[in-house]
Amino acid sequence: MADTATQTQDAPVLSVRGLSKAFAGKTVVQNVSFDLRPGEALALVGENGAGKSTTKNMLCGLLKPTKGEIFVEGQSVEKVDRTEHGISAVHQELSLFGSLTVAENICVSDLPGSTARIDWKKSHEIAREQLDVLGMAIDPRALVETLGAGHQQVVEIAKALLHADKVLILDEPTTSLTAIERKKLFEIVDVLKARGLAIVFISHFMEEIYRVCDSFIVLRDGQQVGQGKLADVSQRNLEEMMVGRTMEDAQLDLSAHDEDEVLRVEGLSNADFDDVSFSVRKGEILGISGLMGAGRTELAEAIFGLRPASGHVWVNGCDLAPTSVARMKQSGVCYVPEDRRRNGMFLNRPVRENLSAAHLLAFVTRKLRGFGFKGEKSHAAKIVDEMNIAVPHVENQIGDLSGGNQQKALLGRWLAMDPQILILDEPTKGVDIGAKFDIHQAIVDLAAQGRSVVIVSSDLPELMHTTHRMLVMRKGRIAGEFDRADYDSVKIISMAASEGKGDST
């Protein structure tokens, strides 16, 4: 829990009263009110579609409220440009220019010098000062594209701090960070709080919220349904406020699986992993755990034929090596990638087209004047209904959906092909607690129907919650195996990180 001793003043630096926003007459955020004091971190939480992004965009000036007022140090903020009042945001999608230097990115909105000549020395000094505040030794002359995700996030924060001397908004800041980078980010937030900066922190990760924040507000369906100090509310109660139901309903019942082997991997190797062997049985949910860089995603892609590899992959007794996507699909295997936006979807195309993309030929009917489509729309509507995807119409662009609804759509696309083996890479990455439960329940239901599921995930609690058995990868090899009855988070993490093999019993 964050230390509230850093709150040095009682007077709010930011006050929000009755904040509301409507689009085309439809209210999406209604009557949000809270106070934020210097040195305080406020968690803004809720499911995808609850109104967090709209609220954030009103706070930082990207949207003008339909109703309500925002006060900074008691003064009403009328102008849309909140940076004039010391408010700035670091958005989930970073706004850096990879081909520019760190200093150029940090100072991009206000480069020192004149229109005739930029003072590059001064820009480096400004960048260095901002990075020193964050305790980061990043070269201001380095190109941003050469930096890792963690350092890019720091540059984005340094850029925002040029204008955020009162309030900094962080929107899902750890989505692409490693565990070590997350820890460093939390230390930076602690430093900023100690300097009196107020923080609005948006995250789906409960452990992050309780590590960073002092207080919270909960949005559900655009309404503010909860508010208070984090010290006074349990994680379960906070989650229940977010989803509007008791979390006892979220307990999963994993039924026993058959002993019939449906997938066998033997001696699979390439540059990212070495001599990997394991099997999966009918109706079994197998988890693959490990630290970032352990080779989990590369292994999953190689099994599905997206990466070359030596070794053998057996599906229902048939050796499919060398694997290919076409052969795996024909054998009843599907793969849902980790990065749904980059590798899984056509973001500017309708939901309808995305849901039929994996088996388009099933809807093509030859006509005299070319090709036509039959049944695609009703097929998409059926998936939307079965997967409980929140979308007004199947002709809406899938890129406009929330992360959880996009993930359910991606899973539904493949389920329509009636696969017998599903390989799911980070199936709940970036989705809210409600959508996560829906996806977990869908996975367990699939296993109960006799389908087999391989889950690759960096979320250890997720694997411990949803799987019958777990493999632990380390440096491209299988370091050990755990049965569900023997799950122990300390042992699993130790095995993933240690040099020795560890003990799986």
Reply yes or no: is the peptide bond before residue 322 cis, omega within 30 of 0.
yes
- The C-alpha R_g of the chain, in whole angstroms, comes to 25
Compute the distance between CA of residue 403 and CA of residue 159 in angstroms, rounded to an integer: 27
Name the nearest CA neighbour of 281 among 262, 256, 300, 265. 262
Structural domains in the chain plus CATH codes: 4-245 (3.40.50.300), 261-345+419-497 (3.40.50.300)
Helix, strand, coil abundance in the chain, percent, nearest 5: 35, 25, 40
Q: Cβ neighbours of residue 35 under 8 Å, at least 6 residues apart?
A: 12, 14, 15, 16
Compute the distance between CA of residue 450 and CA of residue 183 in angstroms, rounded to an integer: 41
| Residue-level pLDDT at 193 | 94
Global pTM value: 0.62
Q: State the 10-residue block means of pLDDT for the chain, 505 residues long.
A: 49 94 86 96 86 90 91 82 82 86 88 80 89 87 88 89 89 79 88 94 88 94 92 88 64 78 96 95 94 86 94 94 90 87 80 81 58 74 84 86 81 85 88 79 91 90 91 93 90 74 37
Residue 36 in contact with residue 200, Cβ under 8 Å?
Answer: yes
Residue 90 in contact with residue 154, Cβ under 8 Å?
Answer: no
Compute the distance between CA of residue 99 and CA of residue 189 in angstroms, rounded to an integer: 27
